[in-house]
Homo-oligomer: A and B are copies of this chain.
Amino acid sequence: MSLLTVGSVAFDAIETPFGKTDKIIGGAGTYISISSSFFTKPVNVVAVVGDDFPEEYIKTLESQGINTDGLQVKEGEKTFFWAGKYHNDMNSRDTLVTELNVLEHFDPIVPANYQDAQYVMLGNLSPQVQSTVIERLENRPKLVVMDTMNFWMDIAWDDLMKTISMVDVLSINDEEARQLSKEYSLRKAAKKIMEMGPKYLIIKKGEHGALLFHEDKVFSAPALPLEEVFDPTGAGDTFAGGFIGYLAKTDDISFDNMKKAVIYGSAMASFCVEKFGTDRLLEITEADLEARVKEFEELTVF
């Protein structure tokens, strides 16, 4: 089923205890689109870059089956840039640079050939941009999934509440779930957040896996205990991309299938962290993915 993704397509400069990169391709929209394109094609991306964004990077996206008709290239402007440095434990990082550039006045365009979107993944962006995309779709998609972060809770609460009320699935991390609900217990937090609109809630817990909530049901997905996390950048977005990609491919939004989608998303994220940036995502095969999903099964079956 046709999939639309929205999110930043950007430059990242990453430093981890294992090394550092120059400006490489990054951004939530990039990770989501590459990850979901593993399951379904085309992935119709809505995003914006500056004229400094290399043609080669756009070709990389297109070679994955990503349709860039909705990728605006702004002449005379610069691409969003983020630089960060991870601490030794890889669980925390310092942001060194954030240059909004083209994202500051991002007015998303939804091309006519994207209008049949049945599955929509709103990657982390200003909630106002996220809701604009929904409003610019003529028909309500079958499933709208939204990712966001604490930053928008701090500076754009009302916009955030509006967008959250419009989506089916919200994906945030445990700290953010606590901030959003003002509840420490994740079970209580989930109840409160689902009263804000979304019928489903995913709480991402990094190395501790993820929880999927719906009505009074819960599913707990483990994370694969890895020997080495090389670069965690994009893991959450890769998870989201795998989640929506699997749902779009199978076109089944039952709770049972969403559980599987969470596992496929987790498997994709477990690859993402094995190399810098999107490198590992661009080389895995279907056999790699199925073997990884099997590892998740072995990890949890008792």
Contacts and interface: CB of A to CB of B under 8 A. Distances in A.
Interface residues of A, number: 37
Interface in A280-302: 297-302
Interface stretch (A121-129, A224-232, A235-243): A224-232
Interface in A176-203: 184-188, 190
Contact of A208 (B184, B185, B205, B256): B205
A219 interface: yes
Contacts of A187: 225-227
A213 to B, nearest CB: 8
A222 B225 contact: no
A89 interface: yes
Given A90-B184, A228-B185, A302 B263 contact: yes
Interface of A: 88-90, 184-188, 190, 205, 207-209, 211, 217-223, 225-229, 256, 259-260, 262-263, 297-302
9 contacts: A89-B184, A90-B184, A185-B225, A185-B228, A209-B220, A218-B225, A219-B299, A222-B300, A297-B302
